[in-house]
Amino acid sequence: MDITGLGSAFDLAKGIIDRIWPNKNDPAYVAAQAQLVQAQTAGALKELDDSFQLLKAQADTNTAEAGKGVTFRDGAGWTCVAGFAVSLLKPLIEWGAQLSGHPVALPSIDTTTSTTMLTALLGLGGLHMYEKVKS
C-alpha cells in the first residue's frame, strides 16, 4: 500500500545503487541495499502506523458518540412512536370513555410525515445492524 508515492522513490534509489555498484558482491553494494530495504521497511511501517492511528481515532470518536445516552436517533424515533401510539390508542380511549359514561372526542393526529421519518429511521437502523452482524 503506497499512498505516499515513496515506492517510486525507492525504485529510483535502487536503480541508482545498481548503477553505482554494478558488482552485486561488493560490500558497499550490499550495505547500500540493506539501507534501502531498511528505509523501505521504515516507510511502510510509518504508513501502516498512520493508517492505524486514523482508524483508532475514528473508532474512539464512534465510541464517544455511541455512549451519549439518548438512543433511537436522539429521540426523533421515540416521537414518531409516541404519535403512532396515540393515533392507535385514540379509538380505544374514546370507546372506553363512552362505555364509562363520559364520552370524549380526542383530536386526530396526522402521521404522514412521521410515517416517512420512522420508516427511514428503522431502515437505517436495520441496515446498521445488518452491517454489524455481517462484519
47-104 pLDDT tens trace: 888 888 888 888 888 777 766 666 666 677 788 888 888 888 999 999 999 999 999 8
117 within some domain: yes
Is residue 98 domain-resident?
Answer: yes
pLDDT digits (tens, 9 = 90+) for 30-58: 777 777 778 777 777 788 888 888 888 88
pLDDT at residue 12 greater than cutoff 80: no
- Whether residue 14 is found in the same domain as residue 62: yes
User: Is the separation of the CB atoms in 73 and 118 below 8 Å?
Assistant: no
**Helices 112-134 and 76-99 meet at what angle, rounded to 10?**
130
Q: Residue 102 sits in which domain range? A: 76-134
**Residue ending a domain, choose from 66, 90, 114:** 66
Residue with cell 531498511: 38
What is the DSSP-derived secondary structure letter of residue 111? -
* One domain for residues 32 and 56: yes
What confidence score (pLDDT) does residue 17 get? 65
Number of domains, the chain: 2
Sequence-ordered list of residues with C-beta below 8 angstroms from that of 93, at least 6 positions apart, any chain: 104, 106
Dihedral Cα 126, 128, 133, 135, nearest 10 deg: 150
Q: Are 51 and 87 contained in the same domain?
A: no
